[in-house]
Amino acid sequence: MGTLGINSLSKSQVSRMAEQLDEQVAAFRQRPLGQAGPFTFVAADALTIDRCVRTGAW
């Protein structure tokens, strides 16, 4: 924490930070997954390559 310029934290500060983090995690976990993101395609490419390598298609 010292490298971040924070020398000490009180229990209440840690508690508030944990609450805020819990809210952010909950929002992330409840986000809609209807739209594909960039990692969806990376995963699909990796599976395709793996299948091609295993079957000798390359």
pLDDT at 6: 80
**What 3-state class would DSSP assign to 45?**
helix
Strands (E) located in the chain: none
Domain containing 48: what range? 2-55
1 contacts 9 by C-beta, under 8 angstroms: yes
**21 vs 32: which has the higher pLDDT:** 21
* Residue 39 pLDDT greater than 70, yes or no: no
Domain count, the chain: 1
pLDDT at 20: 96
Mind listing the pLDDT tens digit for each residue in 2-19? 777 788 989 999 999 999
Tokens (6 digits) for 53: 């390598």
pLDDT at 2: 72
